[in-house]
Amino acid sequence: SQKIEQNSEALNIQEGKTATLTCNYTNYSPAYLQWYRQDPGRGPVFLLLIRENEKEKRKERLKVTFDTTLKQSLFHITASQPADSATYLCAADRGSTLGRLYFGRGTQLTVWP
């Protein structure tokens, strides 16, 4: 069955550094990947979407890449701040499944001063 895996459950980095989160998928080829941020007790908030024919997407301090050979997406936060501390979820869709998103378990990022 289709699988979305985020290898790290937790990532701790110092303020100002670049955080890099990994998302791998197996057993299928998603049409696109999405990244969401989730704060404790709140709903996920959409950050970025990258399609299978795109290598890289940027939005302010965020960058996401999509490597269909490695079956992997990397999510980068540059110049990280304590306010970036949250859980980041990777989600993938397959167009034929009508908008259904498969979510990874998430990576909890902590940025310390």
Residues within the interface to other proteins (CB under 8 A): 31-32, 34, 36, 41-46, 49, 89, 93, 95, 97-106
Q: Which is nearer to other proteins, 19 or 89 (CB)?
A: 89
Residue 69, class by beta-carbon neighbours within 10 Å (0-12 exposed, 13-18 middle, 19+ buried)?
Answer: exposed
From the CB of 90, what's the least distance to other proteins, in Å?
A: 11
Query: By C-beta, is 30 or 65 nearer to other proteins?
Result: 30
To the nearest whole angstrom, how small is the minimum distance from the Cβ of residue 15 to other proteins? 28
Tokens of 26: 């197996």
Helix runs in the chain, H state only: none
Q: Using an 8 Å Cβ cutoff, are 32 and 50 in contact?
A: yes
- Smallest distance from the beta carbon of 66 to other proteins, in angstroms? 15
Amino acid identity for residue 20 in this structure: T
**At its nearest, how many Å lie between other proteins and the CB of residue 77?**
19
Closest to other proteins by CB, 80 or 106:
106
Q: For the beta carbon of residue 28, count every other beta carbon within 10 angstroms.
A: 16
Residue pair 70/85 in contact (Cβ under 8 Å)? The answer is no
* Closer of 11 and 49 to other proteins (Cβ): 49
